[in-house]
Chains A and B, each alone.
Chain A
Amino acid sequence: MIASLRKYYWIALMAARTNLAYVGEVAARSVFLAILLYIYLRLWTITYAQSNATRLGDLSLEQMLWYLVATQSIYMSTPKVAQNLDQDVRTGTLAVQLVRPLSFPLYYLWNALGERSVRFGITFLVGSIVALILVGPAPLTVPGYLLLLAALPFAFCLDFLGYFLVGLGAFWLEDTSGVLLIYQKSVMLAGGLLIPMELFPDSIKPIVQALPFSSIVYGPAHLFVHPDLAELGNLLLKQGVAICGFTVCVWFVWTLAVKRVHAMGG
């Protein structure tokens, strides 16, 4: 068991180190994040002014910008799980991993976690610097950071399972990019990337909150600016249930898919 955990931990470590080779790319994304955060600040400043409110959805303007730093960092750090898996299936690269004493889905999971930890770290750091300059450190609290760190691993695992399921579609579909686009936009819109759940219309709020996407983006980001232990408990429960459900789906689809592995390369 320990030996098994150790091999996956090393895979995550290798993936993290590999991603340090892409610091330039992550930095370039971060410049984009800086511009995005400035635009959001302008938009929300006008929204707060127009509605004569100091708080919207129980968040101040400062908290709103820090909320967006967290949501954008989560969203922008997503590794290309579905695209890579799609390629591995089509080119037969999958074979290289299947001849090793490893679980292929677990290999992919730990690889994605290693990659995402580096990407999230860099993006969040740059986003924090920009937010500090734009609105100052007002809503930052130690519990906020701790609760974010507690919720993030499960959010990343859940997100991975979603993307992995999309990638497995390559065993049946000619092109998975359409399904991928739907999944990405679902995370973006129903996950609360741009607007916290509290500001959603009452008619759709219960539906969106029941979907797993809010546990990936909104949940951890809201805990960061609005730390609450009871909310953490609820979030972990939702994440746990969603992870169990997605894991069963991945296991079922993978069992079917592995029988469809074709020999590539004559």
Chain B
Amino acid sequence: MNAIELHKLRKTYTVKQGSGFGRKTAEVVAVDDISFEIPEGQSVAFIGPNGAGKSTTIKMLTGILHPTSGEASVLGLVPWQDRSKLAYQIGAVFGQRSQLWYHLPPSDTFELLARVYNIGKNDYRKRRDMLIERFGLAEFLNTAVRKLSLGQRMRAEIAASLLHNPKVLFLDEPTIGLDVVACQELRDLVSEWNRQEGLTVLLTSHDAGDIEAVAKRVLVINYGRVVLDDRVVTVRRRYMGSKILGVKFHEIPREIRIPGVTVLKASSYAMKLEVNTEVASIDRVIHKVIQAGPVADITIEDPPLEEIIAHIYSRVNEPDYEEEVIGLS
């Protein structure tokens, strides 16, 4: 069963341009007839450049915004018509906007949320204690939010959004501003929750690390349209068609010149090569590398997802770019 379904969802805004008597109104298309489905329990990264329509889509799916046309359902409910009913079944974290009470400890916000979501006393205690343990909140549970680090605050934010046991979690740039360690902790927690509790996750982020760690599927949106829909691993494989080869030698190797291979970094006994697999096959390159000198170690890596995303964005911005929406098989 699908947790989220969108069919030709569209949102336009009327904006005023110019000033004085010459002021005119123009229609801006924020979301342009997008359609996709997300099955229950799937984790999806919803990415795109600034102004692509990500937040507008999420806000329509949470019932905050009314669409101009089209249909959508979240857990069988129409979000903008059944906002209150849906609110009991979804959680949302907006990375730049806190739901925690700034001058009070997270424990107080939890108490309030228990009342807001009508959670029974026993259920609340069980759920709260589990979240405290899993999210490691005990050490700062009774400290005012204003005194917490950003990483601690975001852990508390996500725990608060899971308190009422939602079936779908919307994460809008949850790791923005976090350091590497805090980012990793948060990704692990969301990923674990997705796997163990069957939580459906729709994540927007500009951080490729979030996408890799949390999502199995990636939806790329630009100018309000879905321009790519595929598995994260497939996107990585398909979109760059390259591998990074790291080689260490016992002796100084001979010069390597192979069409489709670029030397990214080289020292006396080591080098990093980028292999365009459409031009040169990996086994041929490895064969040539072994011929160049005695190999001590060799590693093959995929290129960083940041580069893939940058590549997709640059392609979809090209005027002659042919829309390529790849359905999941």
Residue of B nearest to A22 (CB): B103
Q: How far is the CA of A91 from the CA of B52 in the complex (A)?
A: 18
Residue B87 is within 8 A (CB to CB) of chain A in the complex: yes
> A99-B63, A259-B66, A265-B94 provided; 7 other pairs, C-beta below 8 A?
A7-B115, A7-B116, A96-B94, A101-B85, A102-B116, A261-B64, A262-B65
Residues in chain B near residue A259, CB distance under 8 A: 66
CB distance B98 to A96 under 8 Å? yes
Given A14-B101, A17-B108, decide whether A263 and B115 contact each other with a Cβ distance below 8 A: no
Known: A3-B118, A263-B55, A266-B51. A98 touches B83 (CB 8 A): yes
Residues of the A chain whose Cβ atoms lie less than 8 Å from the Cβ of B13: 262
Task: Give the interface size class of chain B.
Answer: 35 or more
Q: Which has the most chain B C-beta neighbours within 10 Å: A21, A99, A259, A266?
A: A99
Which chain A residues lie closer than 8 Å to B63 at the CB level? 98-99
Count of CB-CB pairs between chains A and B under 8 Å? 85
With A and B bound together, what is the CA distance between A10 and B62 in angstroms? 24
Contacts of A98 in B (CB 8 A): 62-64, 83
Residue of B at shortest CB range from A9? Answer: B115
Interface residue? B280 (CB, 8 A): no
Which residues of A sit under 8 angstroms from B101, Cβ to Cβ? 14, 18
Contact (Cβ within 8 A) B108 A95: no
A-facing mask of B27-60, CB < 8 A → 1, else 0? 0001000000000000000000011101110010
- The answer on a CB contact under 8 Å between B52 and A14 is no
Scan residues 129-165 of chain A and give those whose CB is less than 8 A from a CB of chain B: none
Please, which residues of chain A bring their CB within 8 A of the CB of B59? 95, 261, 263
- Are B87 and A14 neighbours in the complex by a CB distance under 8 Å? no
Chain B CB within 8 A of A166 CB:
no
Instruction: Determine whether A93 belongs to the interface, using a CB cutoff of 8 Å to chain B.
Output: yes
Residue ranges of B at the interface with A (Cβ–Cβ < 8 Å): 13, 30, 50-52, 54-56, 59, 62-66, 83-85, 87-88, 90, 92, 94, 96-99, 101-104, 108-109, 111-112, 115-118, 144, 172-173
**Residues of A close to B104: CB separation below 8 A:** 14, 17-18, 21
Determine which of A7, A21, A265 lies in contact with B96 in the assembled complex, contact meaning CB atoms within 8 Å: A265
Quick check: is A42 within 8 A (CB to CB) of the other chain? no
Kindly identify, within residues 173 to 232 of chain A, every residue whose CB is under 8 Å from any CB belonging to chain B.
Answer: none
A21 and B112 contact, CB distance less than 8 A: no
A27 located at the interface, meaning its Cβ lies under 8 Å from any Cβ of chain B in the complex: no
Closest residue on chain B to residue A265 by CB atoms: B55
Q: Does A245 contact B (CB under 8 A)?
A: no
Bound CA–CA A100/B113 (angstroms): 9
- Supposing A98-B83, A101-B88 touch, asked if A93 and B97 sit within 8 A by C-beta, the answer is yes
Residues of A contacting B97 with CB < 8 Å? Answer: 91-93, 95-96
Residue of A nearest to B31 (CB): A263
Query: A21-B103, A96-B98 are contacts. A101–B115 as well, Cβ < 8 Å?
Result: no
Q: Which residues of B contact A14 (CB under 8 A)?
A: 101, 104, 108-109, 112
Chain A residues with CB under 8 A of B50: 266
